[in-house]
Structure 1
Amino acid sequence: MHPQRARLHNELHARPSIYFEEPAHLHHYAFLDADGIAADILHRVAEVTGRTPDIEAAQEILELGDQTLKWERHTEFFTLTLLVPRPARGESWPPPPPLLAEVAAQHSRALISASLILVEAETSWEGDPEAYGLRDPAGSSVGDDDATVWSDFRLTAAGVNRLLLVNRGLNAFRLGRMTRRLLEIETYRMMASLALPLAKEMSLELRDHELELGELSERNTESDAANAKPLLAAISSLSARLERSGARSRQRFNATEAYARIVYTRIDELRESRVGDSPRLGTFILRRFRPTVHFCAAIHQRQKSLAESVARLNDLLRTRAQVEIEEQNSEILQSLNERTSSQLKIQKAVEGLSIIVISYYLFSLFKLGLQSLDALGMPIVPAVAAVILAPLGLGIIGVLAWRIWRVKQH
Structure 2
Amino acid sequence: MHPQRERLHNELHARPSIYFSEPAHLYHYAFFADVQTHAAMLAQLAETTGIACNADAAQQILTFEGMVLKWERHTEFSTLTLMVPKAVGSEAWCAPPTWLTKVVEAQQAALMNATLVLVENVDTWLGSAEAYGFNDPAGSQVGGGDATVWSDFHLDSAGFNRLLMLNEGLNAFRLGRMVRRLLEIETYRMMASLSLPLAKELALELEGYEVELGELSDRNAEQEEANPRPLLTALSQLSARLERSGARSRQRFSATEAYARIVFSRIEELREARVDHCPRLGTFILRRFRPTVHYCAAIHERQESLAESAARLNDLLRTRAQVEIEEQNMSILNSLDERASSQLKIQKAVEGLSIIVISYYVFSLFKLGLESLEALGVSVQPHTAAAVLGPLGVLIVGLLAWRIWRVKQH
**Deviation for aligned residue 1:2:** 2.4
**Deviation for aligned residue 1:387:** 4.1
AA of the residue aligned to 2:311 = A
**Deviation for aligned residue 1:119:** 0.8
1:318 aligns with 2:318: yes
SS at match of 1:294: helix
**Deviation for aligned residue 1:35:** 7.4
1:380 aligns with 2:401: no
Aligned counterparts, 1:371-410, within 5 A: 376=377, 378-380=379-381, 382=383, 384-410=384-410
- Count of residues in correspondence between the two structures: 409
* TM-score when normalising by structure 1: 0.93
What does the per-residue CA deviation read over 1:223-272, in whole Å, with 9 as the maximum and x for residues that have no partner?
A: 47875333322222212212221121111111111111111111111111
Alpha-carbon distance between aligned partners in 2 of 1:246 and 1:357, rounded to the nearest angstrom: 78
Aligned counterparts, 1:214-229, within 5 A: 214-223=214-223, 227-229=227-229
Alpha-carbon distance between aligned partners in 1 of 2:360 and 2:227, rounded to the nearest angstrom: 62
Q: Unmatched 5+ residue regions in structure 2?
A: none
**Deviation for aligned residue 1:401:** 0.8
**Deviation for aligned residue 1:44:** 2.1
**Deviation for aligned residue 1:352:** 1.8
Aligned counterparts, 1:1-400, within 5 A: 1-34=1-34, 36-223=36-223, 227-366=227-366, 369=369, 376=377, 378-380=379-381, 382=383, 384-400=384-400
Is the contact made by 1:370 and 1:380 (CA closer than 8 Å) also made in structure 2? no
Alpha-carbon distance between aligned partners in 1 of 2:367 and 2:36, rounded to the nearest angstrom: 112
Alpha-carbon distance between aligned partners in 2 of 1:357 and 1:143, rounded to the nearest angstrom: 116
Choose 388-397 or 371-380, whichever is displaced more: 371-380
Choose 116-125 or 195-204, whichever is displaced more: 116-125
AA of the residue aligned to 1:42 = L
SS at match of 1:166: strand
SS at match of 1:82: strand
SS at match of 1:28: strand
**Deviation for aligned residue 1:184:** 0.4
Choose 121-130 or 45-54, whichever is displaced more: 121-130
**Deviation for aligned residue 1:106:** 2.5
Choose 190-199 or 66-75, whichever is displaced more: 66-75
Is the contact made by 2:228 and 2:320 (CA closer than 8 Å) also made in structure 1? no
What does the per-residue CA deviation read over 1:89-135, in whole Å, with 9 as the maximum and x for residues that have no partner?
A: 32111122212222232222211001111111134423321221111
Alpha-carbon distance between aligned partners in 2 of 1:301 and 1:337, rounded to the nearest angstrom: 53
**Deviation for aligned residue 1:54:** 0.7
Alpha-carbon distance between aligned partners in 2 of 1:271 and 1:322, rounded to the nearest angstrom: 62
Alpha-carbon distance between aligned partners in 1 of 2:274 and 2:182, rounded to the nearest angstrom: 17
AA of the residue aligned to 1:312 = R
* TM-score when normalising by structure 2: 0.93
**RMSD across aligned C-alpha pairs, in angstroms?**
2.1
What does the per-residue CA deviation read over 1:290-331, in whole Å, with 9 as the maximum and x for residues that have no partner?
A: 111111111112112222222222232222222212211211
SS at match of 2:19: coil
**Deviation for aligned residue 1:365:** 4.5
AA of the residue aligned to 2:255 = A
Alpha-carbon distance between aligned partners in 2 of 1:6 and 1:34, rounded to the nearest angstrom: 27
Alpha-carbon distance between aligned partners in 2 of 1:371 and 1:49, rounded to the nearest angstrom: 132
What does the per-residue CA deviation read over 1:367-404, in whole Å, with 9 as the maximum and x for residues that have no partner?
A: 5655666784634362x544433332221111111222
Alpha-carbon distance between aligned partners in 2 of 1:59 and 1:284, rounded to the nearest angstrom: 31
Alpha-carbon distance between aligned partners in 2 of 1:184 and 1:372, rounded to the nearest angstrom: 124
**Deviation for aligned residue 1:178:** 0.2
Choose 348-357 or 72-81, whichever is displaced more: 348-357
User: Identity of counterpart residues, as a percentage?
Assistant: 69
Choose 367-376 or 148-157, whichever is displaced more: 367-376
SS at match of 1:27: strand
Alpha-carbon distance between aligned partners in 1 of 2:241 and 2:21, rounded to the nearest angstrom: 56
Is the contact made by 2:45 and 2:103 (CA closer than 8 Å) also made in structure 1? no
C-alpha change, 1:320 and 1:235, in structure 2 (3 Å) is: same
SS at match of 1:36: helix
SS at match of 1:310: helix
Is the contact made by 1:374 and 1:380 (CA closer than 8 Å) also made in structure 2? no
SS at match of 1:101: helix
Is the contact made by 2:198 and 2:249 (CA closer than 8 Å) also made in structure 1? yes
Is the contact made by 1:225 and 1:321 (CA closer than 8 Å) also made in structure 2? no
SS at match of 2:144: coil
**Deviation for aligned residue 1:47:** 2.0
Is the contact made by 1:225 and 1:324 (CA closer than 8 Å) also made in structure 2? no
SS at match of 1:286: helix
Is the contact made by 1:116 and 1:161 (CA closer than 8 Å) also made in structure 2? yes
**Deviation for aligned residue 1:406:** 3.2
